[in-house]
Amino acid sequence: MGMGMASPLLSCAIMALLASVLPPPSVAGDPDLLQDICVADLSSGKPPRPDSVRALCCSQIRKMVQINHVFDLCAGVKVNGFACKATVTEDDFYFKGLGAAGNTSTTYGSVVTGANVEKVPGLNTLGVSMARIDYAPGGLNAPHTHPRATEMVFVLQGALDVGFITTANKLVSKTIAAGDVFVFPRGLVHFQKNNGAGPASVISAFNSQFPGTQSLAMTLFAATPPVPDHVLTTAFQVGTKEVDKIRSRLAPKKA
């Protein structure tokens, strides 16, 4: 075998060896778990209640050691996700909220019922979650993104116009019906609209315990504190009256 042939074969062998020993790229939106389970302690990131014994003790500790400016041990544990709680029960892995349709009497005629780590603490570190979305006739799940997850929807009933927009501003859209599946890539703006005369519903699956949702309209026009008028008027090439009108329509309804 000549040297000309040996060199490419050697390179291929090295690449194959590296591929067999290096860890594969993660296919989940969340880091891999390092233990069997880590049921979320949903209070782990919260400071103590002002009237609790812990709050009283923390107050005295701060006065004595004066470490507020360095690291506040009493502010709650801050981690990427949630700390593990000590006592685990079967209910930490159970949720029955997706069986019934939600109330679609909303601004857009749709409602999302989530089954993420906040509802199912046992999902902590497992990298998955679900949701049910219900739509009134003509209802819209307004353009939004999930910064931490890819989404896959399965249509339970009805027909919907769905789509996402790539970073090159290309719209990828399709009409889907009962039994169909459609995928929205992570981080891309997407939407679903009920195009039928009756109600519609889907089940969504995510590769993150907490996908996060940013609605474009709410993010820009209902932020707290508000996005400056001059930013919105320049971005959308409209006047302040139009901005105020949109804000008033998206403002939370008073009880």
Arithmetic mean of pLDDT, 91-118: 96
**Percent of the chain whose pLDDT exceeds 70:** 72
Task: Summarize pLDDT for 4-17 with one digit per residue, the tens.
Answer: 555 666 666 666 56
Given a cut of 90, is residue 186 above it in pLDDT? yes
Task: Identify whether 66 is part of a domain.
Answer: yes
49 with 70, same domain?
Answer: yes
Structure confidence at residue 201 as a pLDDT band (50, 70, 90): very high
190 is in an annotated binding site: yes
70 with 164, same domain?
Answer: no
Which range, of 50-54, 72-76, 154-158, 191-195, averages the lowest pLDDT? Answer: 72-76
Task: Identify whether 134 is part of a domain.
Answer: yes
CATH label of the domain that carries residue 132: 2.60.120.10
Q: Domain residues for 55?
A: 45-78
DSSP the chain: --HHHHHHHHHHHHHHHHHHHSPPPP-SSSPPPSSS---B-TTTTSPPPTTSHHHHHHHHHHHHH--TTT--TTS----SS-PBPS---GGGG---TTSS-----STTSEEEEEESTTT-GGGTTT--EEEEEEE-TT-EEEEEE-TT--EEEEEEESEEEEEEE-TT--EEEEEEETT-EEEE-TT-EEEEEE-SSS-EEEEEEESSSS---EEHHHHHHS-SSPPPHHHHHHHHT--HHHHHHHHHHHSPPP-
Say which amino acid occupies 86: A
Task: Identify whether 86 is part of a domain.
Answer: no
96 with 184, same domain?
Answer: yes
121 with 187, same domain?
Answer: yes
190 with 236, same domain?
Answer: no
126 with 199, same domain?
Answer: yes
225 with 194, same domain?
Answer: no
pLDDT, residue 50, reads 64
The β-bridge relationship of strands 181-184 and 159-165 is: unpaired
Domain count within the chain: 3
Q: 236 with 226: CB under 8 angstroms? A: no
201 with 111, same domain?
Answer: yes
**Percent of the chain whose pLDDT exceeds 90:** 64
pLDDT, residue 32, reads 72
Task: Summarize pLDDT for 165-183 with one digit per residue, the tens.
Answer: 999 999 999 999 999 999 9
Task: Identify whether 152 is part of a domain.
Answer: yes
Task: Identify whether 10 is part of a domain.
Answer: no
143 with 245, same domain?
Answer: no
195 is in an annotated binding site: no
pLDDT, residue 4, reads 56
95 with 185, same domain?
Answer: yes
Task: Summarize pLDDT for 30-86 with one digit per residue, the tens.
Answer: 777 667 788 888 877 665 566 655 556 666 655 555 544 434 445 555 566 788 989
144 is in an annotated binding site: yes
146 is in an annotated binding site: yes
Beta bridge partners of 201: 134, 157
Q: Tokens 């819209």 map to which residue?
A: 140
Given a cut of 70, is residue 121 above it in pLDDT? yes
69 with 158, same domain?
Answer: no
Which range is most confident: 19-28, 74-83, 113-122? 113-122
**CA distance to 71, 85, 94, 212, 227, per residue, from 42 (Å):** 21, 8, 15, 16, 30
HSE-CB of 42 using CA atoms within 13 angstroms: 11
